[in-house]
């Protein structure tokens, strides 16, 4: 595992072969490192397999392609885009930032991107690991994994997969963790001190990994940013109805025929599945993890409460107005009336309780419109309430969990987004220069923005290094427990509050939304 010195191009010898990286801003960086065999041809919709290695020296100085996904030139009005060409199925790679490829045994931070299970990439500049590596003396790894139909389509039992294993995205992530455990010491990392962090769909992935039998003893702590734990994940039979609809949209009758299609046709058919699966008042999720009983035996949130995963350090949080991300700029929702929103509430609480629940949301946000009530409901159902149930359950078992809420609203779009889903990301990474294309950051006061970013960024570093996010430049941050329910409020003024989200916790305590913790 020897390191070959080089002023501008460090080289690392690994069993799969030699890698040639680059020095960027004083860090050794290795990009587009393959961790699994290309999932092409007969390996499409198969579990990830080990990479065969390479001969000679592999150049690792440039990003490789991202996993195929929808792409809208010009971006969107919130993030400005979340994944851009080039795309290719041969993209199961990871990127590494390290202060030095030596024997330093630094803590390792593995980042798993989100994107509604259909977009994103570990190579996006937004998720560059340089700030964490430089500011925290960490080794940072970001990964590409199969998303959309290539990663989340459930194909059921078939030739070569008789047991009906699904969740190919999860097999990719497990393969990446195996690679990291085996090789990260050669990049100055400590394989016995690994923190896995993710946001949104990436946070759901992080929970699934933490509870997987194969990772026992591998993951020391997890950071769960806006995990959509309120999603009702289908079993095999329910998912096959979705698969049948997708086959029809793709113009084929069997998975074998689907395997012959080029990937652009697969991405094109995915667009139709959005429309087929959409329900008014619900976050659109055409592709989902499947509880297949093989790769995933139970909802990921439950895995953090049982077995070996119950001893992992957990930090979990959400943004105050998560759902504004997807609904606040959509006229179909901003024009919603009280009657329709009350009917949507009845889906969760029943028709008899729905008017009372509507009134409770109105009281919690004086002057709210029906659209505000709807968005607060979706925020609670999908993100806040199930995260609180996890914190409550771990508190009862005296397993530490640190909770936070991101409250700083953005003035972009006349303030309609509030503290929306994804808004905490540039603060956590402290890299606003890499988010210049994102409309949702427009208008933020630079002094407030940068001060909050310093506080959050240092807290994430502290947690990755020690399992405790507290540091001297912020108020004392105690774990969430059954007595105080301490929750850190990240806003222009950072404050530790008792039971910050108590209204949501009490309202949804018996609603049944999301899995039972």
Interatomic CA distance for residues 116 and 119, integer angstroms: 7
Q: Tell me if residue 421 is catalytic.
A: yes
Using DSSP's 3-state secondary structure scheme, residue 326 falls into helix
**13 DSSP β-pair partners:** 18
Q: Considering 89, 302, 321, 322, which one is annotated as catalytic?
A: 322
Q: Tell me if residue 113 is catalytic.
A: no
What six digits make up the tokens of 401? 């969990």
DSSP 8-state class, residue 312: S
CB of 490 closer than 8 Å to CB of 452 = yes
DSSP 8-state class, residue 87: B
Using DSSP's 3-state secondary structure scheme, residue 192 falls into strand
What six digits make up the tokens of 47? 């579990």
* SS3 annotation, 375-391: HHHHHHHHHHHHHHHHH
Q: Tell me if residue 200 is catalytic.
A: yes
Long-range contacts of 334-337 (CB under 8 A, 24+ apart): 334/369, 334/371, 335/371, 336/370, 336/371, 336/374, 337/370
**3 DSSP β-pair partners:** 12
Sheet of 11-14: strand order equals 3-4, 11-14, 17-20, 57-59
Using DSSP's 3-state secondary structure scheme, residue 393 falls into helix
DSSP class per residue in 138-206: -EEEEE----HHHHH----SBTTBTT----HHHHHHHHHHHHHHHHGGGGTEEEEEEEEEEETHHHHHH
> What is the chain's alpha carbon radius of gyration, rounded to the nearest angstrom?
22
Spatial neighbors of 428 by CB under 8 A, at least 6 apart, are 225, 453, 456, 457, 460
Q: Are strands 3-4 and 11-14 parallel, antiparallel or unpaired?
A: antiparallel
Q: Considering 66, 91, 123, 200, which one is annotated as catalytic?
A: 200
Spatial neighbors of 56 by CB under 8 A, at least 6 apart, are 17, 18
Give the number of other Cβ atoms within 10 Å of residue 396's Cβ: 12
| Catalytic (active-site) positions | 200, 322, 421
């Amino acid at each position: 595992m020897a390191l070959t010195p080089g002023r501008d191009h460090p080289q690392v010898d690994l069993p799969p072969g030699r890698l040639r990286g680059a020095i960027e801003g004083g860090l050794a960086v290795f990009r587009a490192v393959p961790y699994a065999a290309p999932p092409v041809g007969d390996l499409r919709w198969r579990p990830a397999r080990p990479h065969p290695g390479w001969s000679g020296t592999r150049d690792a100085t440039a990003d490789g392609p991202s996993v195929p996904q929808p792409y809208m030139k010009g971006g969107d009005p919130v993030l400005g885009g979340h994944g851009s060409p080039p795309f290719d199925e041969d993209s199961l790679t990871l990127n590494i930032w390290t202060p030095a490829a030596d024997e330093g045994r630094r803590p390792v931070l593995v980042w798993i991107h989100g994107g509604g299970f259909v977009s994103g990439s570990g190579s996006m500049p937004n998720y560059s690991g340089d700030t964490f590596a430089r500011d925290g003396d960490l080794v940072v790894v970001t990964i590409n994994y199969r998303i959309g139909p290539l990663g989340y389509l459930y194909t059921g039992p078939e030739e070569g997969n008789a047991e009906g294993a699904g969740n190919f995205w999860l097999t990719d992530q497990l393969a990446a963790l195996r690679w990291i455990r085996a090789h990260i010491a050669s990049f100055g990392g400590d394989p016995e001190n690994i923190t896995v962090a993710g946001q949104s769909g990436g946070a759901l992935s992080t929970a699934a990994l933490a509870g997987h039998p194969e990772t026992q003893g591998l993951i020391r702590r997890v950071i769960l940013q806006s995990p959509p734990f309120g999603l009702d994940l289908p079993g095999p039979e329910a998912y096959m109805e979705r698969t049948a609809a997708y086959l029809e949209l793709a113009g084929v009758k069997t998975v074998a025929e689907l395997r012959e299609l080029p990937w652009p046709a697969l991405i094109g058919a995915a667009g139709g599945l959005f429309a087929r699966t959409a329900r008014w008042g619900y976050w659109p999720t055409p592709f989902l993890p499947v509880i297949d009983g093989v790769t995933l035996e139970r909802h990921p949130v439950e895995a953090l409460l049982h077995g070996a995963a119950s001893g992992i350090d957990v930090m979990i949080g959400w943004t105050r107005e998560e759902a504004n991300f997807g609904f606040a700029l959509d006229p179909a929702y901003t024009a919603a009336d009280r009657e329709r929103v009350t009917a949507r509430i009845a889906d969760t609480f029943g028709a008899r309780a729905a008017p009372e629940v509507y009134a409770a949301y109105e009281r919690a946000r004086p002057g709210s419109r029906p659209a505000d009530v709807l968005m607060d409901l979706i925020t609670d159902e999908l993100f806040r309430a199930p995260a609180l149930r996890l914190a409550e359950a771990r508190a009862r078992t005296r397993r530490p969990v640190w909770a936070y809420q991101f409250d700083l609203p953005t003035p972009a779009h006349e303030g309609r987004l509030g503290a929306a889903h994804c808004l905490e990301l540039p603060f956590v990474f402290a890299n606003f220069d890499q988010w210049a294309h994102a409309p949702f950051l427009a208008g933020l006061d630079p002094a407030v923005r940068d001060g909050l970013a310093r506080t959050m960024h240092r807290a994430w570093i502290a947690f990755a290094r020690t399992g405790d996010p507290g540091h001297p430049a912020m108020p004392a941050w105690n774990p969430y427990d059954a007595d105080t329910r301490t929750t850190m409020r990240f806003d222009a003024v950072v404050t530790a509050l008792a039971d910050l989200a108590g209204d949501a916790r009490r309202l949804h305590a018996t609603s049944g939304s999301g899995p039972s913790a």
